Structures are given as structure tokens and as C-alpha cells.
Amino acid sequence: MRTPTGQECQYFFGDYYRGRNVEVCRLLKASGQDWSPDLCKSCPVPGIQRANSCQNLQLRATVGRPLDAMFMRRVQISAFCTKTARTVKEPQVGCGECHPLPPIFSVPK
């Protein structure tokens, strides 16, 4: 579903049927965090979903204030691979074992 900023996100839900105006981020709700529409502006999840569609990647979200933006709240993501059972450092790339690159992209030594 499209977020208030116009990006596709599988975790965003909006119910507008017959005058209702219910919007919620299911990823933040699962971690017990409060959501507001301004968080969608700087959220990295739609970009991660476009770059990596691995079914084994689980995302966890928290809302925090990084040091560079002291007054802005931002969504911070941590990722975990269920296949390899380890933390993923770069969610856009993945763990590197679920979907290996074809040999044509490897550099000969």
C-alpha cells in the first residue's frame, strides 16, 4: 500500500472505507513503537524492499533520534536473516548467502 509520502510499503496500512481514516505502520506496531505520518518521509524500509526482496530477511524497526538530526525522529532498521540465523549489516544487499551472485559477476583473481 502507498504511504503518505507516495512510496509502496508492505508494512503500511490505511483504512479509508466509508469515512474511516485509520493509518498504521505494522512494522513499528509490532515493536511497540508509536507511528506518525512524518516518519514515512525518512523511512528506509521502502528502499530496502525495492533493493532486496529476500523472503528470509526480517526487519525490526525502532524510532530514534540520531546524532546528526537531534530534533527529527527517524526510523532505524535492524535486519536478521532466518536462513543463516545471523544479523545482516546491510539490509539492501542481504546476508550474501541466500541469493549468491552468478559467476559472470565475479572478478577473476
Show Cβ contacts of residue 44 under 8 Å, excluding neighbours closer than 6 positions.
75, 77, 91
Amino acid sitting at position 82: T
DSSP secondary structure code for residue 104 in this structure: G
CA of residue 74 relative to chain centroid, distance = 12
| Residue 22 contacts residue 36 (beta carbons within 8 Å) | no
DSSP secondary structure code for residue 92 in this structure: T
What's the pLDDT tens digit per position in 42-73? 899 999 999 998 999 999 999 988 776 667 88
Give the global pTM: 0.79
